[in-house]
Amino acid sequence: MELEAQWWTGQLAADIHQALRYKELKLPSYKGQSPQLHLRRYFADLIAIVSNRFRLCPAARHLAVYLLDLFMDRYDISTQQLHVVALSCLLLASKFEEKEDSVPKLEQLNSLGCMTNMNLVLTKQNLLHMELLLLETFQWNLCLPTAAHFIDYYLSIAVHETDLHDGWPMVCLEKTKLYMAKYADYFLEVSLQDHEFLNYAPSLVATACVASSRIILRLSPTWPTRLHHLTAYSWDFLVPCIERLLIAHDNDVKEANKQKGQQAQSAQHAVFQPPAPSAQQANAQQHVPQYLQAHQSSLQYHHPASQQPSCQQILSSTHTASYPLQTCPAALQTSAQARGHVQGAAMSLAVPLEVKPCISVSYNRTYQVNGRYSCITPCFER
């Protein structure tokens, strides 16, 4: 633990963080104009499920979803072919982020239920063609920072012994750090489920995940000076993203309570007593409402009056930092992008734009990403 703490506080980690912050300023733009945008949640969940099955790291999972988002934003792809694209994105991301023996094999991908249900079979040639198309789309640069690349660096100081819990000194610092990491991972996965989070810089999303976790854990001050200096984000700059995360958390808690009520009714009909809630469920159902009642918010949400208080009451303008923001990358800028159409296993494309090819393969090359991004340093070791 001491060696790990020394690593995160060392100069090398700071240099890597600075390089990633620089690279995120030059990320390709996302416009949210895919004709299949309504299917985006399904394929993001598919990538998450498959990555969990193969025990891939969060960085690989987030990079895969980001590659899929950018590719869908530029091409009109059939629903059947999107399965191949999604798995190819995951395969490329795992090759970039994972060790070689952790990368899924072709036969393992073909054995997935989504492939058999769609009557799809990946061949080596088909997979190579799709990987080449993806690599050419991103100009062979996969060093694209995501929120998962920043979260560990920010978690290294997310909890400190000087923090207060419900206004009292913390009883167990290590246990609080463990809960902080679990909640941060939860909010990180929430950010994968909605394409609206692509409107924020990855470092901002990671920072908002940490801030949201501190809110749920009732730690004060909500946004301490040390986190402001490390992330270079003020509270006011984080509020819109935190709002989205906490609304998603509220919805999840309501859904969990709804399912619990349904299970209780079923158990009563069956003359069985309902099982007692787990410690984690009790923490989410008891701690959150108590904390929400203790805060008032300047942000306006629209929830039915009959529902329980939402996380909107947590966000308070009194947490605004009194010192200036050092560097705050704005939301990703949009720019005109070429669009195409993908058909069949041969991955043929057709758009009225002429783009110079950079490699010789069996499909037509008709897309080029704006700008080139040099890889200065590798991403964090997971």
- 152 inside domain: yes
How large a percentage of the chain has pLDDT more than 90?
40
- 291: tokens are 């904390």
**Residue of 41, 32, 143, 49 lying closest to 87 (CA atoms):** 49
Same domain as 132, residue 74: yes
Same domain as 202, residue 125: no
Average pLDDT over residues 267-287: 52
Torsion angle, alpha carbons of 361, 363, 367, 373, to 10: -30
Task: Please provide the size of the chain in residues.
Answer: 382
Last residue of a domain, one of 138, 172, 191: 138
The yes-or-no verdict on residue 156 having pLDDT over 60 is: yes
At 288, give phi and psi (nearest 5°): -60, -55
- 222 inside domain: yes
Same domain as 132, residue 33: yes
- 353 inside domain: no
Same domain as 179, residue 134: no
Same domain as 35, residue 134: yes
Give the Cα-Cα-Cα angle 196, 201, 204 (nearest 5 degrees). 100
Last residue of a domain, one of 248, 264, 287: 248
| pLDDT: which is higher, 313 or 106 | 106
Average pLDDT over residues 357-365: 30
pLDDT at 1: 58
Same domain as 121, residue 151: no
The yes-or-no verdict on residue 334 having pLDDT over 70 is: no
pLDDT at 360: 28
d(CA 350, CA 367): 10
Task: List Cα–Cα distances, 30 to 42, 46, 220, 337, in angstroms.
Answer: 19, 21, 35, 9
| CATH at residue 152 | 1.10.472.10
Amino acid at 366: T
Residues contacting residue 31 through CB under 8 Å, at least 6 positions apart: 73, 334, 337
pLDDT at 35: 87
d(CA 112, CA 94): 17
pTM of the entire structure? 0.68
For the chain, how many structural domains are there in total?
A: 2
Q: pLDDT digit string (tens) for 63-80?
A: 999 999 999 988 888 888
β pairing state of 75-77 and 340-342: parallel
pLDDT at 335: 34
pLDDT at 327: 36
- 346: tokens are 């041969």
User: In the 8-state DSSP scheme, what is residue 187?
Assistant: H
At 341, give phi and psi (nearest 5°): -140, 130
d(CA 184, CA 152): 9
Mean pLDDT over all residues of the chain? 74
Q: Is the dihedral of CA 78, 84, 89, 92 positive or negative?
A: negative
- 359 inside domain: no
- The residue with tokens 């891939």 is 56
The yes-or-no verdict on residue 37 having pLDDT over 80 is: yes
- 36 inside domain: yes
The boundaries of the domain holding residue 46 are 29-138
Same domain as 125, residue 156: no
Same domain as 211, residue 133: no
pLDDT at 6: 72
- 367 inside domain: no
Burial class (CB in 10 A: 0-12, 13-18, 19+), 308: middle
Q: pLDDT digit string (tens) for 196-251?
A: 999 999 999 999 999 999 999 999 999 999 999 999 999 999 999 999 999 999 99
Rg (CA), the chain: 22
Same domain as 50, residue 108: yes
Same domain as 122, residue 162: no
pLDDT at 276: 55
Last residue of a domain, one of 138, 156, 189: 138
- 172 inside domain: yes
- 229: tokens are 């200096």
d(CA 188, CA 208): 9
Same domain as 175, residue 128: no
**Residue of 1, 6, 97 lying closest to 54 (CA atoms):** 97
Average pLDDT over residues 264-276: 63
Same domain as 114, residue 38: yes
The yes-or-no verdict on residue 369 having pLDDT over 50 is: no
User: In the 8-state DSSP scheme, what is residue 219?
Assistant: E
- 167 inside domain: yes
pLDDT at 381: 34
Q: pLDDT digit string (tens) for 115-154?
A: 777 777 778 888 888 889 999 988 898 889 999 999 999 9
**pLDDT band at residue 352, thresholds of 50, 70 and 90?**
very low
